[in-house]
Structure 1
Amino acid sequence: MSRPSTTTPLLSGQTESPQSETPATAPASSLDELIERCIGDFGWAQFLQASLISLSRAFDAQQTFVSVFTNADPTWHCTSPSLCNSAADLCQLPRNSWTWDMPMDTSIVSDWSLECASSFIRGLPASSFFLGSLAGGFILPTLADSTSLGRKNMLLLSCLLMSLASLFAAASTNIWMYSVLRIVCGFGRASVGTCALVLSTELVGKRRRGQVGVLTFLFYSFGYLSLPFIAYLNKGSSWRSIYLWTSIPAIIYCLLFHFLVRESPRWLFLQGRKEEFIATLNSIGNRKSLTVGNLFEIDAIEQESSDTDIYSAIKILFKKGWAIGRLFTVMVVGFGICIVYYGMSLGNGSLGSDLYLNVTLNALSELLAALATFFLIRRLSRKGSVLGFSIVSGVCSCMLMITPISNISGSSNNNKDHIHYTESGWISTSWLQIGIKILSFFSSSMAIHVLHIYALELFPTCVRNSATAMVREAFILAGVISPMLVAAGRENEVLLYGVFALAIVFCGSFVTFLPETKGSSICDTMDEEEHRVMATKTSKNLVC
């Protein structure tokens, strides 16, 4: 049963009608309106809640990219000129003829003597993290839509598992133990992004959901940006110290989160937990107190998630043809974009410059993309933005095919796996290529940020967390594949950037098959969304 329509936009730049224009005695026509009458548009209590929730994304980013430093290939130099040639293959040299430039425990490669191990063994820890995320994405996030845990508890447990696995990883004694703990870490973080995004946006009014959603991206960017600084402060120290610096603050955060963050009022209402629904709204509200009597203002909201099966939300989602089509399309688009996003992030070694500088530049462009999305999301069309940024990123990748970065003069090879660069020779010849790479990464970041918000708007409340979790599975699958592409691209960068360009442009073009959601409000049940799908065939402006 659908509810009367409202003209209030969800994430558009339209102006919301003043609350005072609605008579105090007029009944609320939707759950959105009832919630907003109590909590208002956006207050300090909501800002604090959204910030605390979004902070989990900073720790998520740290664990996603920490392997860039802990698993880095260390540099080396000859100690016996008569036995050692810096241009030779390291594995063909006598072990007593060369030594590492830094202490052996600065990287797992030197700490566990993996310099001559197969590419599978050396890439195992990084792949393990994303494989764990892939597995966790199928199991954990749907619990947030079920009656057992909800958004808050699922986010707390995920963040805690991720943090503890990271802490224990610092005590690893070999690559096999380390890889298993990275799987556990990835498994735990699988639902952090989804739960943080959904929970934070369901605590605010309609007009601010887009900007609050982007707040999670901002914290993710700050977490990414913090990594090169943490790594630099620990330069020359054991790789284990980086894990300590990132895991211990995350565990402290989990304790604060447990006591300070509230559950989603939307989820509480749909689960029939009316007393908790009222208490939550009154605790963060800045307009009026809500009582049990106010709940009768809404005649009927179908609670489609009443099944206690943890996969009931997924079952509901797959019963509708339009929902399957949307889900598949968004997953294809996200996969193509993330091939470039993760490829550019995890392939920093292809730039002829310092590793700390590479990661910092990428993190800054990620932060700039998040800020741009934060200020522009209410004005950006969803389809046009995702398609446009995908094309820009693809064009930049094509430009990198013409002049691959590693072929730029000013670098000298120690061997094909260990490269030493001159202190400043690369600067005068490669800034243009570096700028193109950063622009490609920036565009892919913008596309993925908008796509996150877009996915939220495409699915109703009862399945939103599970649907966005499935979309993130496509993102993570791209994270599994991208390191393999980067490894292969060391031999043929023209092919690497060609694949990047083809993936993001081809997959990004699928967004044209999705409906535009800018200016529309969200639905709570599948029936409401299906009613809108059918109605839009005759009326483009119908909303829930």
Structure 2
Amino acid sequence: MGDQAPLLAKKPSTIEDVIESCIGSTGFCQLLQAILVVMAWIFDAQQTFINVVTDMGPSWHCTHKNDSSCSSAAGPCGLPEGSWSWDQPKHASVISEWSLQCSPPSLIGLPASSYFIGCLVGDLLLATLADSRLGRKKMLVFSCLTMSLAAGLSAASPNVWVYSALRFICGLGRATVGTSALVLSTEMVGKVWRDRISIIGFIAFGAGFLSLPAIAYFNRDSSWRNIYLWTFVPSLCYTILIYFVIDESPRWLFIRGRKDEAIDILKRIAKSNGCTIDTSFSNLSITEEKWNVDVFSALKILLEKKWALKRLTAVMIVAFGVGIMYYGMPLNVGNLSSNLYLSTTLNAFAELPSSLLAFFLINRISRRYSILVLTVISGVTSVACVFLTSGGWQMGIEVVSFFSTVGALNVLIIYSVELFPTCVRNSGISMVRQALVFGGVFAPLLVAEGRKRKFLSFGVFGLVIGCCGMFAAYLPETRGSEISDTIEEEERKMVDYSNLNP
């Protein structure tokens, strides 16, 4: 591009106009930076599902073929020492290394539950900082660093209690990784690429999930601690990289009153696209969000505004149902009569086609009706797993259920971005993810109980997601609409819509 065309010929009227006029074309370097941001979802997925492969219940066998009391036992609990043995090395799983096979479900599921409880606490304490003081970039770097270090230290855990505490800290850091990456990446690109960059994040999440069975398979005869090291090193390197190469969100800088910094970033992005900005922004009127001055200001606004509270409540109920299924199904594959590595791999593969399908259809489908349909399909197929006895059929129906859940989650996250304005978006999406994780807190306990009675896992999962998904009917449709930057903009849009649709 030898001749650089000026991008702005007149004064923009809103922040949205500024963003679209300057970087709406979304050049290669700009897109590359946004994709680099959403790559954080790879490491998010690895830490979210790593307990599937490190804390799995290992298979065992009787050491004496003619021992009838051993061969008729459902598990090794109560059998004399020496009458049975693990199929893999003892250090291959947390359960076998620390002899937790006869422990109550609450203790077996403690590390996974601790992780999700950490996510809940982290969302509550840290999420609003990305809207108020720290911003998107610093929050992302801090979260990735905390998550990475806790994962690395987990490899040195001496017992299940220290291990659970480190999983809690890992969840605390991970709580805002996905949200910060999603919000920052979507605020770095123009409207045309906004939905698609979100889907690329979901694909990255699926890739991270898919990497786990591969890492576990190649370390099947090694210690479970090696799996944590394999995820820790790349995550730490990624954190260092984004600290030096990623820009802050210009949208967030504008609403925080840091106009000069925002304009510098816009000019730098425009230059990388082969364009220049030669219009002065000195007369651009941008009102700083004065109310957003402390950690919980954004959350207070979401609770005080009736329309925002209604949206937040409905979308969080949907998220809870999706979360208990999304986090529970991968943990639950051990309760199927099929190969653990194969079942986990198929679940991970289900993420990718679901995300790719959303990538190509997201601009054409209704957000509200998509969630309604997908949650019903997921619920019905999950309940069906209770009554199936064939391992092949169980695995196939379970994958269909998980595929539908992933689709519902993809649409739900994009829906959440569009439901809340920039000034409270990170807090709103964090609350949605908190509801997702809250469902995940119960999932390990239900999975442990489901080893005895399948309805307590597959049945409960299906009923919860089916019922919670119905609350999507209370949300407004957002497909094709522009996102707002301030509370006032969103309320003006609502008034205009009411006047057009009395």
**CA deviation after TM superposition for structure 1 residue 393, in Å:** 1.3
Equivalent residue letter for 1:444: T
Equivalent residue in structure 1 for 2:496, among 527, 535, 540: 535
- Aligned runs of 1:261-410 on 2, under 5 Å? 261-285=246-270, 286=273, 288-290=275-277, 293-296=280-283, 298-299=284-285, 301-305=286-290, 307-403=292-388, 407-408=389-390
Partner residue in 2 for 1:518: 479
CA distance in 1, matches of 2:177, 2:310: 25
Partner residue in 1 for 2:80: 94
Q: Percent identity?
A: 49
Please say if residues 40 and 287 of structure 1, whose CA atoms lie closer than 8 Å, have aligned partners that are also in contact: no
- Please tell me whether residue 44 in structure 1 is matched to residue 44 in structure 2: no
**CA deviation after TM superposition for structure 1 residue 302, in Å:** 3.1
Q: Deviations over 1:19-64 (max 9, x none)?
A: x9x9953322221221222223221112211111111110010001
**CA deviation after TM superposition for structure 1 residue 108, in Å:** 1.2
CA distance in 2, matches of 1:540, 1:94: 74
Please say if residues 305 and 462 of structure 1, whose CA atoms lie closer than 8 Å, have aligned partners that are also in contact: no
**CA deviation after TM superposition for structure 1 residue 291, in Å:** 6.0
Partner residue in 2 for 1:202: 187
Secondary structure in structure 1 of the residue aligned to 2:480: coil
Partner residue in 1 for 2:94: 108
Equivalent residue in structure 1 for 2:145, among 160, 166, 169: 160
CA distance in 2, matches of 1:24, 1:489: 61
Q: Deviations over 1:276-303 (max 9, x none)?
A: 112211222225434682252x33x332
Moved more, 110-119 or 229-238: 110-119
Equivalent residue in structure 2 for 1:238, among 211, 223, 227: 223
Partner residue in 2 for 1:179: 164
- Unmatched tracts of structure 1, length 5 or more: 1-19, 409-429
- Aligned runs of 1:244-263 on 2, under 5 Å? 244-263=229-248
Secondary structure in structure 2 of the residue aligned to 1:96: coil
CA distance in 2, matches of 1:291, 1:188: 41
Partner residue in 2 for 1:70: 54
Please say if residues 401 and 495 of structure 1, whose CA atoms lie closer than 8 Å, have aligned partners that are also in contact: no
CA distance in 1, matches of 2:281, 2:431: 35
Partner residue in 2 for 1:126: 112
Please say if residues 355 and 410 of structure 2, whose CA atoms lie closer than 8 Å, have aligned partners that are also in contact: yes
Equivalent residue letter for 1:360: T
Please say if residues 81 and 97 of structure 1, whose CA atoms lie closer than 8 Å, have aligned partners that are also in contact: no
CA distance in 1, matches of 2:340, 2:458: 20
CA distance in 2, matches of 1:166, 1:293: 47
Please say if residues 386 and 454 of structure 2, whose CA atoms lie closer than 8 Å, have aligned partners that are also in contact: yes
Secondary structure in structure 2 of the residue aligned to 1:318: helix
Secondary structure in structure 2 of the residue aligned to 1:94: coil
CA distance in 1, matches of 2:161, 2:278: 56
**CA deviation after TM superposition for structure 1 residue 264, in Å:** 0.4
**CA deviation after TM superposition for structure 1 residue 159, in Å:** 0.6
**CA deviation after TM superposition for structure 1 residue 540, in Å:** 4.7
- Unmatched tracts of structure 2, length 5 or more: none
- Aligned runs of 1:394-433 on 2, under 5 Å? 394-403=379-388, 407-408=389-390, 430-433=391-394
Equivalent residue letter for 1:124: L
- Please tell me whether residue 85 in structure 1 is matched to residue 46 in structure 2: no
**CA deviation after TM superposition for structure 1 residue 121, in Å:** 1.5
Partner residue in 1 for 2:124: 138
**CA deviation after TM superposition for structure 1 residue 77, in Å:** 2.0
Please say if residues 278 and 290 of structure 1, whose CA atoms lie closer than 8 Å, have aligned partners that are also in contact: no
Please say if residues 8 and 279 of structure 2, whose CA atoms lie closer than 8 Å, have aligned partners that are also in contact: no
Q: 1:295 to 1:493 in 2, by over 3 A?
A: farther
Partner residue in 2 for 1:415: none
Partner residue in 2 for 1:420: none
**CA deviation after TM superposition for structure 1 residue 527, in Å:** 1.4
CA distance in 1, matches of 2:181, 2:8: 34
Q: Deviations over 1:184-231 (max 9, x none)?
A: 001000001110110000000012100011111110000000111111
Partner residue in 1 for 2:38: 54
Which structure dedicates a bigger proportion of its chain to helix? 2
CA distance in 1, matches of 2:87, 2:450: 26
Equivalent residue letter for 2:78: Q
CA distance in 1, matches of 2:237, 2:8: 44
Q: 1:252 to 1:485 in 2, by over 3 A?
A: same
**CA deviation after TM superposition for structure 1 residue 361, in Å:** 0.1
Please say if residues 131 and 423 of structure 2, whose CA atoms lie closer than 8 Å, have aligned partners that are also in contact: yes
**CA deviation after TM superposition for structure 1 residue 315, in Å:** 1.6
- Aligned runs of 1:404-483 on 2, under 5 Å? 407-408=389-390, 430-483=391-444
CA distance in 2, matches of 1:138, 1:291: 42
Q: TM-score, normalised by structure 1?
A: 0.87
**CA deviation after TM superposition for structure 1 residue 322, in Å:** 0.6
Secondary structure in structure 2 of the residue aligned to 1:99: strand
CA distance in 1, matches of 2:426, 2:481: 19
**CA deviation after TM superposition for structure 1 residue 109, in Å:** 1.2
CA distance in 1, matches of 2:7, 2:445: 61
**CA deviation after TM superposition for structure 1 residue 104, in Å:** 1.2
Q: 1:453 to 1:305 in 2, by over 3 A?
A: farther
Partner residue in 2 for 1:509: 470
Moved more, 497-506 or 360-369: 497-506
CA distance in 1, matches of 2:184, 2:95: 39
Partner residue in 2 for 1:10: none
User: Number of aligned pairs?
Assistant: 494
Please say if residues 305 and 312 of structure 1, whose CA atoms lie closer than 8 Å, have aligned partners that are also in contact: no
Moved more, 281-290 or 528-537: 281-290
Secondary structure in structure 2 of the residue aligned to 1:140: helix
- For the aligned residue pairs, the C-alpha RMSD in angstroms reads 1.9
Secondary structure in structure 2 of the residue aligned to 1:335: helix
**CA deviation after TM superposition for structure 1 residue 495, in Å:** 5.1
Q: Deviations over 1:132-189 (max 9, x none)?
A: 111111011110001x210001011001100000000001111111110000001000
Please say if residues 489 and 496 of structure 1, whose CA atoms lie closer than 8 Å, have aligned partners that are also in contact: yes
CA distance in 2, matches of 1:76, 1:167: 29
Moved more, 57-66 or 74-83: 74-83
